[in-house]
Amino acid sequence: MRSISLVFRRIAKSLLLVSALSFGINARVQAAPAGNAAAGGALFKQKCTSCHAIDRQVVGPALKGVTSKHDEAWLIKWVKNSQALVASGDPAAVKIFNEFNKTVMTPFPELSDDDVKNILAYVETGGGEAKKEGDAPTEEGAAGGAKEEGVSDFMLSGLILIVVVALLVILVLNRVIKTLNRIILQKKGVAVEEVEEESAAVRFRKLAKNKKFVFFVIILLVALFGSLGWKAMWNTGVHQGYQPEQPIKYSHQLHAGTLKIDCQYCHFNAYKSKNAAIPSLNVCMNCHSYVTASDKYNGQTSPEIAKIYNALDYNPDTKKYGDSPKPIQWVRIHNLPDFAYFNHSQHVTVAGIKCQECHGPIQTMPEVYQYSPLTMKWCINCHREREVNSKGNAYYDKVLAVHDQLKKGEKLTPAVLGGLECGKCHY
C-alpha cells in the first residue's frame, strides 16, 4: 500500500508541474474549429454580408441554423452555384428560390470546399466575430493579410481550468490515500482513532503553514499576473477595433459595397502620394448635388447630406454656394507612430496591394473602424510572406542595369542609384 501512496503522490506532483509550466507558455493557442471560424469570418464579411446576416433576414434569409436544415455537401453546391441546383430540380433549392421571389443568389465558383466549410463554421458560431460598436474585430487579416499573434483569452482560461482540475485531483487522491491507509491499519489490528471533522478556519491555518502549498500558490499567482501583464503590455498602443464617432455617418457599405464606387474615386491620392487623402466635400457634391435620398425621408433631404450642404453653405433649392463654408472635422482612425514611415503609392501602385488587405472588408462597414493591428510585427510578417513581382517594373529593371554595369566594371555614381531623389535628403 505504501507503493500506491507513492504513485499517487508522483501523479499529483506531475500535475502540479505541468500546470506551473503551462503558465510560462505565451504562444497563441486556438482550437481547430475556432481557426476555421476565423477564416470563415473574413470570407463571410467579403462575400456574404451584402445579402445575408446571421440572425436576421436581409436580401436573403437569416443564416442561423442553416447547417441543421441542410447537409454540408448540399450547402457547398448551393454556395458555389445555386442556379445549377435550381435548374436540376432539387426540391430544397427550388423551394428557397420561390420563397424569395426568385431572387438569384450570386454564384461563388472561386470558393473551394474548405472555404465554404469555414464560412459554415463561422455561421455555426452565431457570428461570434461580428463587429459591433466598441467590439474588436478578428485578428485574421482580410484577403490574406498577415496575422498578429499574442496571448489569447482562450489560453488563459484553459490554463486556469487545468490548474483547478489539478487541485481537485490532488484533493481526491489525498482523501483516497488516507482511506486506504486507514483500512490497512484496521486489517492489521491497529486501533485507528477517529479524527473529528475540522472547521474550515482550522484547515485554512494548516494550509497556510504548509510551505509546499504556499510555494505553489505563489508560483501560480506570479504566473497568472505575469501572463496578464504580458498581454496588457503586448497590446499597449495597439488600437485595433478603434471606431470613433464621425461628424457625418458616411457608410462605406453603401458607397463602396452596394454602389461599388472605387476607393480611389474618393481617396484619389492613394496611387500617387504617401497619404490616401480625405476627399473634399466637393467630391461628395459630384453626386449629392442631385442625390438627396428624398424617397427614404418622405421628400426631405437626408440629415447626413444636409450636413454636407451646411458645411459648404450650399442651398439645394437654388443650387448656389454661399460665402461661409467650413470644413468637416473628421476624426482620424488609422494612426501610425511618428517614427514609422508608410507610403500609400508604394504599396498600392508598385506592390498592387488592395485596400482590403490593410483596411479589411471596407465595403461591408457601415462605419469605418481599424481592422488590422498595424503593429511592426504585422507589417514585417506581410513583408516576409509577400512575393515581389519584378516583371515590367521600372525600378527592378534599373537594378538589373546597375548589376550589369558592376559586372562590366563601369563607373557608378550615387545619382545612378537614386541619389538625386528628393526623399533621400528631404523627409
- State pLDDT tens for residues 226-279: 988 988 888 888 899 999 999 999 999 999 999 899 999 999 899 889 999 899
Most confident segment among 2-11, 19-28, 198-207? 198-207
Task: Note the pLDDT of residue 364.
Answer: 94
pLDDT band at 421 (very low <50, low <70, confident <90, very high): confident
pLDDT of residue 9: 58
Strand, coil or helix: 119: helix
Confidence label for 361 from pLDDT (cuts 50, 70 and 90)? very high
How far is C-alpha 258 from the geometric centre of its chain's CA atoms?
23
CA nearest to 237, candidates 148, 157, 344:
148
* Total residue count of the chain as it appears in this document: 427
Neighbour-count burial of 95, counting CB atoms closer than 10 A to its CB (0-12 exposed, 13-18 middle, 19+ buried): exposed
Cell numbers 482620424: residue: 332
Kind plus residue range of the DSSP H or E element containing 320: strand 320-321
C-alpha cell at 338: 511618428
pLDDT-wise least confident of 19-33, 171-185, 279-293, 406-420: 19-33
Q: Residue 322 above 50 pLDDT? A: yes
The C-alpha atoms of residue 112 and residue 106 are separated, in whole angstroms, by: 15
pTM of the model: 0.50
Distance, CA of 144 to CA of 353 (rounded, Å): 11
pLDDT at 5 over 50: yes
Which pLDDT belongs to residue 138?
42
| pLDDT of 288 higher than 50 | yes
Confidence (pLDDT) at 333: 94
Task: Give the pLDDT band (50/70/90) at residue 132.
Answer: very low
Average pLDDT of the segment spanning 108-123: 84
The highest-confidence range among 24-28, 291-295, 341-345, by mean pLDDT, is 341-345
What 3-state DSSP class applies to 314?
Answer: strand
Query: CB of 119 within 8 A of CB of 44?
Result: yes
- At residue 321, the 3 state secondary structure works out as strand
The pLDDT score that the predictor gives to residue 369 is 95
Residue 17 has pLDDT above 50, yes or no: yes
For the cut 50, the answer to whether the pLDDT of residue 281 exceeds it is yes
SS3 label, residue 48: coil
Least confident of 99-113, 124-138, 145-159, 348-362: 124-138
pLDDT at 136: 40
Per-residue pLDDT, averaged over 104-132, amounts to: 76
C-alpha cell at 12: 499529483
Res. 204: pLDDT tops 90: no
Share of the chain above pLDDT 70, in %: 81
> When comparing pLDDT for 103 and 355, which is higher?
355
